[in-house]
Amino acid sequence: MSESRRFVPGRRAALAALCAVGLQLAIAGRVRAESPAEPARTQWNALNAEEQKVLARYGDRWDSLPAEQQQRLLRGTRRWLAMSPEQRDQARQRFDRWQQLTPEQKEQARKRWHRYRELSPEQQQRVREGYRDFRKLTPEQRRQMRERWKNATPEERERWKQRRRARPQQQ
């Protein structure tokens, strides 16, 4: 056997890994090539009566909206129509609270949301549990906790975070 063809430990594994990566890239490129570059447009008359009712404010200009905006509005409309009356009330309340925020508060909320979305599922679960625990406190207890956090040193905050992380997850 020539020197270049001789079996070298790990060479096959490296070659297999390289082939796997190449295959994944090829598949990703094919999927990207097969996917439409732009979302499909939806004509106003293709919407059902309920969707048209929810989207009525866009009716006269719907067909001229960019396809991406149409799809975003349509997804929101379908989520809305799938909600129970109680869920819709809660959504209205959240919307009203959002409308009352200053532009700076809205930007801060957006940044928090993006940070949350970057967390692992386990970390997101812990955040949700912490929020539920916080909501169980009385308004006075919440105020006191906010005050303690606000006045805490960076070291105290880090110790609190470490204790929180060490707690077993609730089911």
Per-residue model confidence as pLDDT tens for the chain (171 residues): 544 445 445 555 444 555 555 556 555 554 444 455 667 889 999 999 999 999 999 999 999 999 999 999 999 999 999 999 999 999 999 999 999 999 999 999 999 999 999 999 999 998 999 899 999 999 999 999 999 989 999 999 898 888 877 776 554
The answer to whether the beta carbons of residues 70 and 43 sit under 8 Å apart is: no
- What does the alpha-carbon distance between residue 20 and residue 26 come to, in Å, rounded to a whole number? 10
What pTM was estimated for this model as a whole?
A: 0.52
Question: What is the pLDDT at residue 161?
Answer: 81
Own/partner pairs, 23-30, CB within 8 angstroms, 24+ separation: none
Question: What is the pLDDT at residue 142?
Answer: 92
Domain chopping of the chain, boundaries: 14-100, 119-171
